[in-house]
Amino acid sequence: MFDFPNDVTDLSAVPEQYRGLYQPGEEGFTLDPHLAEKLDVSGLLSALKKERSNAQGFEKELKSWQTLGPNPEAAWDEKQKALTAEFTGQFDAIIEAKDAEIARLKELNADFLITTRATEAVLKAGGSVELLMPHLRAAITLVEEEGAPVLQIIDTDGSFREKAEGVAMTVEDLVAAMRSSPIFARAFNPTGSKGSGMDPSGVPVNHATINGQNQWALNARIEDIAAGKVSVSL
């Protein structure tokens, strides 16, 4: 079959019946341009190459679907569900860890606020932080009111204590009540004590004691410590 090349150097290479289609050129003979244009199949070859590439892509995709089993769509749905469950589990684990960390930080914050306020109130009242703190911590809790942390005094039954109807008891109120209590009064410095270290009744004064690890308390009572009114425990 003759392929009708565009250029030939020797016309004898062209079948005799087709020689009239070639014209003399610069180097041999050239196929009639109108006929050459009609015989140009480069565009068809390009399109064919593209279709073959698409067919190969479809074949690969078909093989991928076939690996999912006789019902590819159902298998794909199951795979999607499995992936969704996996990601959901990982997300839930992250949220759970974050919630636990938030709860831990809230607990530390509550502990710090309770300890700080109780220490301040006890020192102001001339009491022993070391002796009174365990009782204060058991009676004070931190709650949120309108998004703000508030210290509340709780009773033995878990209810909030009030110093008057509708008026919540404060940490300072609780310390004052403990000072008046016959049980806890011994943890406070007697009022009206003299420089000799004896109260008017002749009983030795129970000086306030500050934990040496509590830097805030040390700073707050530095003058009393220097005057011997407050002792520091190690």
Pairing of strands 162-164, 167-168: antiparallel
Cβ contacts of 215 within 8 Å, gap of 6 or more: none
Q: Residues 113-133: pLDDT tens digits?
A: 999 999 999 999 999 999 999
Cα–Cα distance, 8 to 135 (Å, whole number): 113
Average pLDDT, the chain: 78
Beta bridge partners of 22: 31
Percent of the chain residues past pLDDT 90, beyond the cut = 24
Size (the chain), residues: 234
pLDDT of residue 207: 55
Give the residue among 196, 216, 213 at the shortest CA–CA distance from 205. 196
pLDDT of residue 187: 92
> In terms of pLDDT, which residue wins out, 209 or 64?
209
Helix axes 72-124, 171-180, angle to 10 degrees: 50
Cα–Cα distance, 175 to 184 (Å, whole number): 9
**Has residue 57 got a pLDDT over 90?**
no
pLDDT category at 201 given cuts 50, 70, 90 is very low
Q: Residues 173-187: pLDDT tens digits?
A: 999 999 998 889 989
Cα–Cα distance, 8 to 43 (Å, whole number): 23
Q: Residues 71-85: pLDDT tens digits?
A: 667 766 777 888 888
pLDDT of residue 121: 94
Cα–Cα distance, 226 to 208 (Å, whole number): 13
Q: Residues 83-113: pLDDT tens digits?
A: 888 888 898 999 999 889 888 888 888 899 9
Q: Compute the half-sphere exposure of residue 8: CA atoms within 13 Å on the CB side of its CA.
A: 17
- Tokens 């109260």 belong to 199
Percent of the chain residues past pLDDT 70, beyond the cut = 72
The arithmetic mean of pLDDT across residues 151-167, rounded, is 90
- Per DSSP (E only), the strands in the chain are 7-8, 22-25, 28-31, 140-145, 148-153, 162-164, 167-168, 208-211, 230-233
Cα–Cα distance, 67 to 79 (Å, whole number): 12
- At residue 122, φ and ψ (nearest 5 deg) are -65, -45
Contact 212, 231 (CB under 8 A): no
Q: Residues 18-50: pLDDT tens digits?
A: 777 788 887 788 877 777 666 654 555 566 677
* Domain boundaries along the sequence of the chain: 7-64, 69-96, 101-233
pLDDT of residue 117: 92
> In terms of pLDDT, which residue wins out, 227 or 139?
139
